[in-house]
A and B are shown apart, each in its own frame.
Chain A
């Protein structure tokens, strides 16, 4: 067992327990940090809960924030189950949103019944393409996907900035020469339908549907079985006749595609236009990274990601109040993210001990010549 790269995986018994203990510990350490900053942690947390859940509008905002986290998080699950780590959510969201924008703006004459699915599909394909590049580089040239996806994020942002400063820039902005790097507002008939009279849109339902489909794909189809087999043990998979590279590419392509779909939903459901502040975060709100935390918190299971994304959506919405109530910067949430991941991953050792106690069979040895983390 020790020759295996100690992959992060929950035992069956820790599915619920571990995330909550880790989350609790993270909040505890977070409280200490808030206290060290000279603010009252209890006041801060109460403010966050009120900010996230205090009114119907706040709840709707939390759900809207959960949307991209859900799409990215489910994608991360698929990639991780396939033994690929996708840090490229930011770039894939951006490219997906760009593809959607191109389709909406060039085909805006089509009726919404055709245009909306087409635009969503464009986001799916765009994000998938961007993720697929990293998958191809990994499978063909053994390029570390963690690094290539980070670099692809930066490239995607520059591409978006280039297009929004030129070809895609709002014509009225050009006429008045104010030159804001954003597109025109999309036609009204491409807006995703609102669920209740708040900002909440139908994209979140699509996200839940996608999570269920991803679960079925991973655990009830041959393709999903092979993806998981490759992630579990590349050598054994190879001997079983599975084309390892192909399923690695598939896993990260699907992962990117879902992030891209998240970008499409965000641009059609929330902003109705693409804009940039020169970085990715302006548009994505860091969903590409937060999605990873959500996936880990959701035990790397698509169905676990559903509640996890709602929780983190609420956390992000609540964090907006931190500055106002206790003068703690909103970036505190990123700190909490880091703490959650640290505690979740550190709990592995107990999950593993428990698994051993329950006499689970030992994992077969992994390929150890070029460890997974560097290939």
Chain B
């Protein structure tokens, strides 16, 4: 495999965890609920998945536990911001603390667990023989990577082409109008916040059981929860753009590692190869580029005056006048 195929192949794997988390946040935000607790839900999912797999010896059971753990935390957020109509930003932060704290407490000693099963890895026959695309997308991939491929068109179709997707968008854009048509705004918001939590938990489980197996305290998720929220803005709440962004960021993570391995770039000495201390600048790159992605996404939102669901971050009070 050449240099770039290597990077994008790892990017697709890394990006799968990011993809799940981003899709989850996208669904919640489409329904009008901002959930900043993705990192906390991912950590809970990661530790629950790994711990359950370690205890039962069944990776699938672990994954299920991870999804449940993420979902459980998101329900807390749902109660606080949908039913109690509290500040979504602050509640999301609380979720981050709570998830990280619980994960660290529950994960104590889990780092030394041995023989924990991981999820199966597959290659797709024929497709994996394609030049470049074969190794990048189809060769030796976790089963969850393929689940990710399926999720993208399904979510796109669901959001834009089904009645349920229309209701989802209505609840996020104009809940009062949706309410007047008999759509249960509260129930739908609960459902999509829960779906977001389950997907974040899945993302955490994907990391500990498949992509980089193991539990390494709060660094396990390497800030993917926050990057996922940024990607939703960058993607302008569109699942296909979100997927592209997730895979690109996954690739970037690998690029920062591989870039230190090359001696020369087009005949010019690669400074990152000769001075190890410069690696810290490479490690900044994902975060600096996230800010750049936010900048691009936010500018697009201003220019088009759309993108963000209009009711995002606003509580809905049934029957109150002037409710958006």
A residues contacting B by CB (< 8 A) are 1-3, 5-8, 33, 37, 85, 87, 137, 141-144, 146-148, 150-152, 154-155, 158-159, 161-162, 165-166, 279, 289, 292-293, 296, 328-329, 331-339, 341-342, 345-346, 348-349, 365, 368-375
Contacts and interface: CB of A to CB of B under 8 A. Distances in A.
Residue in A292, A329, A365 whose Cβ sees the most chain B Cβ within 10 Å: A329
A329 B105 contact: yes
Contact of A151 (B88, B226, B301, B322): B226
Given A3-B314, A348-B84, A334 B290 contact: no
Given A342-B76, A345-B94, A142 B86 contact: no
Contact of A373 (B88, B102, B310, B324): B88
Interface string B252-296: 000000000000000000000000011011011001101100110
Nearest to A338: B98
A345 B288 contact: no
Contacts of B96: 338
A321 to B, nearest CB: 15
B21 to A, nearest CB: 14
A138 B36 CA distance: 17
Contact of B299 (A87, A141, A292, A332): A141
Given A335-B98, A345-B90, A346-B84, A374 B308 contact: yes
B98 A348 contact: no
Contacts of A337: 97-98, 101
Contact of B310 (A152, A292, A369): A369
Given A146-B89, A334-B97, A342-B94, 16 more contacts: A2-B323, A6-B86, A87-B93, A144-B294, A147-B290, A151-B288, A151-B290, A279-B219, A331-B104, A334-B101, A338-B98, A338-B100, A346-B84, A369-B305, A373-B312, A373-B313
B315 interface: yes
A365 B294 CA distance: 27
A2 B320 contact: yes
Contact of B323 (A3, A336, A372): A3
B319 to A, nearest CB: 10
Contact of A142 (B84, B97, B278, B298): B298
A10 to B, nearest CB: 12
Interface in B62-101: 76, 79-80, 84-91, 93-101
Contacts of A334: 97-98, 100-101, 104
A95 to B, nearest CB: 13
Contacts of A8: 86-87, 90
Contacts of B295: 137, 141, 143
B87 to A, nearest CB: 4
B193 interface: no
Nearest to B97: A338
B111 to A, nearest CB: 12
B187 interface: no
B91 A342 contact: yes
A338 B86 contact: no
B284 A158 contact: yes
Task: Rank and list the top 7 A-B pairs by shortest CB-CB distance, nearest first.
Answer: A338-B98, A334-B101, A335-B101, A338-B97, A331-B104, A373-B313, A341-B94
Given A143-B295, A146-B36, A158-B280, A338 B288 contact: no
B101 A154 contact: no
B53 interface: no
A342 B291 contact: no
B86 A33 contact: no
B28 to A, nearest CB: 13
Nearest to B109: A329
11 contacts: A5-B314, A144-B233, A150-B223, A152-B287, A154-B287, A162-B278, A165-B280, A334-B97, A342-B95, A349-B85, A370-B302
A147 B230 contact: yes
Nearest to A296: B90
A289 B99 CA distance: 14
A8 to B, nearest CB: 4
A370 B322 CA distance: 17
Interface string B164-198: 00000000000000000000000000000000000
Contact of B281 (A158, A328, A369): A158
B34 interface: yes
Nearest to A167: B277
A87 B313 CA distance: 18
Nearest to B95: A338
B15 interface: no
A166 B275 CA distance: 11
A335 B105 contact: yes
B174 to A, nearest CB: 11
B55 to A, nearest CB: 15
B317 interface: yes
B138 to A, nearest CB: 33
A339 B295 CA distance: 33
B287 A151 contact: yes
